[in-house]
Structure formats: C-alpha cells, structure tokens
Amino acid sequence: MSCEKRVFIIIDGYNFLFRSYHVLHHLTTTTGIPIGAVYGFLNMVLKYITHSDYLTIVLDTGKKNFRHNLFHEYKANRIASSEDLIRQFTILRQAVEAFNFSYEEVEGYEADDIIATIVTKYANQKDLKLVIVSSDKDLFQLLSYNVLIFDPIKNIYIDEEQIVKRFGVNSNKLLDLFSLAGDASDNISGIPGIGLKTAVKLLDEFGSLDNIFGNINRIERTRIRNMLIQHKEKALISRKLLLLCKDVDLQHNITKYKVRLPNMDMLLSFLKRYQFDSLIGKAEKIYYLNKKFAIEKKNRIFWQRIGKIFRVL
C-alpha cells in the first residue's frame, strides 16, 4: 500500500496576479485588451495542475472587511491599482471558470483568512500535504510540518530556517513580532519607536507579546518600557489586525477542490477570445497527453484537431 501523500495546492490569486502584471503589463491583444497579468497567472497555475490532487484559487472581494471596523486606516496607504490591471480582474474570473478551477471568495474576509481556514481544516490529515503558493509574509505564520509555502516570485520554498534568517524569530512568533514592530505594507503601526531588532530581542527574552506586557517592569531600558506602556493598545489592535481568521464559513468538503477537467469548448473559446495561443499547447499537454486525466476518446480527437489548427496559423 502506497504511503505517498496527496498534494493540495492553495493559490493566493491576487498576490500572484499583481506581480504578474508588473512583469507583463505591456502584453495586450491585437485590439488593445490588457492580458499580461492573466497570462502570467495562468502559466503559473498550469505548472501546478499535474503535481496536485487538489487545487483551489483564493480571491479577495476587494471590499472592506472586519479589520476596517477595528482600524479605519487599515491598508489606507495602498496605491490604487491601474485601470489596465482592474480590467483583468474580470478576465481572471473568466479564466477560472473556463479552466474549471476551484476557487474561494467570501465577502467580509481577506484571501489570507480563507487560506488560513482551509489550512486549519486539512493540515492534520496524515495523507495530505498542503502547499500555499504566495509571497505574502502574512501567510508565513501558517507554516508547519505538513504545510509548505512556495514563493513563486523567488521560486523557492519558505522554511523555518529562512524565516529565522529573515525575521529573527520562528514562524510561530511572527504574529507577535509584527504586533510590536508594525507592518508598513498594511499601514499597521505596532509600537512607535520599536523596530524589528528591538522586537526580536523582547521576544527572545520574554517569549510572547502577552509575557512582555506581563513582565513590563523587568524591561531595563526606560525608553522601551515607557513606549510599551504608553502604546500597549496599539500593539493589541495590531495583533487583532494581523491575526488570521481560521473559521471562515466554507460549507463543503475537500471534494470541491479536486482537480478536474475543463469543458473543452468553453476553454477553447476563452483562449481564442483573449489570444492566449501559446496556452493551447500547454492545455493539450496537460489535459490530453497526461495520463492522470484519462480523457475520453472524443476529447483526444478534439485536442488533436485544435493542435493542428494552431500549428498551421
């Protein structure tokens, strides 16, 4: 009996879409429709299809969530997306439907919360290995023996050694680290005047944010002690903002995420509409040539015919 684990890949959708846009922002159809971000995104996702048993793409709704109720300036420093990128949000959703990818999107929550919920639900299944595809450091706190994080930008797996080298603490202390030092990318202040180095020293000495405040009088440096006392509430609010929600209501089981064949006619129509000609060949290799999918004869003939058409064009 095989002990090989099934692989469940969880993709942080917009995280990679945004980064694809910065690399391929110049790419358009012959009629001027911007497609670079979606093209880069699909190329990335198709790499993982044949290596996964389960796969889902997690998206943000783009609307405000419970964190904005806690702190009105949450992410207020973010620069608005360009019009060319915004136009591709709709194309991305069409792509997800055309390829028959499973996806998750829940109003009132961020993609990080949904990812955390999925990870919490399935991380303890012994026959399952979870891989989060994202470069978002907020997700690093989910790292565990059965949960890997792959950074598609750097093309590396994130492990504990790299986290300690980069941040000075293990993944299970990242939440408290940024509660103290803040996170400028999300406009989260932390304790004013306390940077990463000081936060690391405090956590090395006391172990956690709660223990720091529980032993405040033991902190020798007067300036640090006074800042912690004065801005304690900011640290606690920062922790609430940074804490990932792990109980988003996802009413289904793992079968939803099983990798499935697309509707071939719908897929071809989508690829032709946006002139993703090179993806035709990739889709053929994945869905026709790969034995994993065991496509029935009529669909094999379909792909053979389409392949000939595009080799002539």
Whole-structure pTM value: 0.90
Domains of the chain, by residue range, sit at: 6-164+245-257, 166-242, 264-312
Instruction: Give the architecture (CATH level 2) of 166-242.
Output: Orthogonal Bundle (1.10)
Whether 6-164+245-257 shares its CATH topology with 166-242 is answered: no
Q: Is the pLDDT of residue 22 over 70?
A: yes
| 259 Ramachandran zone, left/alpha/beta (phi>0; psi -120 to 50) | beta
Closest to 279 (Cα-Cα) out of 43, 8, 14 = 43
Tell the CATH topology of 6-164+245-257: Rossmann fold (3.40.50)
Question: Quick one: pLDDT band at residue 261, thresholds 50, 70, 90?
Answer: confident
Q: Is the pLDDT of residue 72 over 90?
A: no
Q: Which two tokens stand for residue 210?
A: 């709660």
Q: What one-letter code names the amino acid at 23?
A: V
Which strands, in side-by-side order, build the sheet including 128-133? 102-104, 54-58, 6-12, 128-133, 147-151, 156-158
Average pLDDT, stretch 119-141? 94
Question: Quick one: pLDDT band at residue 307, thresholds 50, 70, 90?
Answer: low
What does the pLDDT read at residue 79?
A: 80
